[in-house]
Amino acid sequence: MTVIDRFLKLVSYPTTSDERSETCPSTPRQLALAEELVRQMQEMGIADAHVDADGYVYGTIPANCEKDIPVYGLIAHMDTAPDAPGENIRARVTEAYDGGDVVLNEEKHIVLSPEEYPQLKNAVGKRLIVTDGTTLLGADDKAGVAEILSAAELLLTSDRKHGTVKLAFTPDEEIGRGADRFDVAGFGADYAYTVDGGAIGELEYENFNAASAKIVIRGKSIHPGSAKGQMVNAALVAMELHGLLPALETPYYTDGYEGFYHLTDLQGETEQAELHYIIRDHDRTKFEEKKHRLVKIAETLNQKYGDGTVELSIHDSYLNMKEKIEEHMYIVERAKKAMEDAGVTPKIVPIRGGTDGARLSFMGLPCPNLCTGGENFHSRFEFVSVEAMEKISDILVKIIENSVNEGRC
């Protein structure tokens, strides 16, 4: 099976995760994809492929050489982001891209344009995989899953020498829980790479410190004709709370190492309102300050409207893995060399997001992040090129091959 055929098969499974669910995985359809991955792995000869009770898929490619080399891990996630529709994905492969507009949906006048998405210029001459503009594509991270499986199949069906390689596919990464129940000890890798990045060549070992915040506001409803001095409109308090946050610290105004507050959901009426935020910053001190600001805002509004009006809960999702990866920079250098050997220029950039690897690095499994080739993640304009996916599969194989040639950690 080619990497493209594999990818198109995987995106046919709807696997949107749900932060409101308390189960693992958060949505049962992730289990359907997990079972499909186990089937594919077993078909290619990965005898121990299995899905555990929490929806994590694991498998092992046994070593076929006797050198004392480290055990590698390759990891990707199965869920897709709830930020855009993930049902009934209609993926298609275009002809070689000519640099102009790509009509995603003629009936609805949805166009993928290089004027709006200038990164398209890097895909000229390549075959693009896109949707019909009504859903996301799911290259984040099913491109990573397909690339890992294609690399695994190549290792298993060729005479290339390799050490032991561990594979894992996780649920619920998009809602910050992908590493919650990951069995690091059972996985048994010395270090690993997540394949969950963007444009080809990206290599990342710095990510945001990340937290999520849930705010419940309880109002007091009274007939508006006699409400003076008594009504507390929860929806208005929600607006007031948001207005107390720095207006320029949002995704729209920030890039590079700058952090932000992102309001992901808002529902409200007079008696109750609920807001959900994600909080991000590369700098640990600024990250803690952002969380503290929300705490102080909640305290201020409770003083103004009465105790219990604003209920705030903050949950740390992951921390910047840089402090852990810097102790093992050889794994970054090994990935750089594999890219160069494959004819790809490495681009070391900070992740304006996070990966399972961030959490896993703090759990004792150093785990930088590799590109998938996808662009415009979490949107209806998501795309990935066929050629990028093929190249990234080659890079994964070269990482494994180079470790044998070096014969050392």
Q: How far apart are CA 76 and CA 356, in angstroms?
A: 8
**Rg of the chain on CA atoms, in Å:** 23
Among candidate residues 19, 54, 79, 382, the one labeled active-site is 79
Residue type, 173: E
* Cβ–Cβ < 8 Å for 295, 289: no
> Which regions of 22-134 does DSSP assign to beta strands (E)?
50-51, 57-61, 72-77, 92-96, 102-105, 110-112, 127-130
Whether residue 202 lies in the annotated active site: no
* Cβ–Cβ < 8 Å for 141, 77: yes
Among candidate residues 132, 140, 141, 173, the one labeled active-site is 173
* Cβ–Cβ < 8 Å for 232, 219: yes
**Neighbouring C-beta atoms of residue 181, cutoff 10 Å:** 16
DSSP 70: P
Place of tokens 């996630």: 77
Nearest Cα neighbor of 123 from 91, 84, 94, 80 is: 94
Place of tokens 């910053």: 281
Q: How far apart are CA 220 and CA 233, in angstroms?
A: 6
* Cβ–Cβ < 8 Å for 197, 139: no
DSSP 309: S
Q: How far apart are CA 384 and CA 372, in angstroms?
A: 8
Whether residue 66 lies in the annotated active site: no
Q: Which two tokens stand for residue 271?
A: 């008696």
Q: How far apart are CA 139 and CA 15, in angstroms?
A: 12
* Cβ–Cβ < 8 Å for 357, 181: no
Q: How far apart are CA 336 and CA 348, in angstroms?
A: 9
Q: How far apart are CA 257 and CA 65, in angstroms?
A: 43
Please list the active-site residues.
79, 173
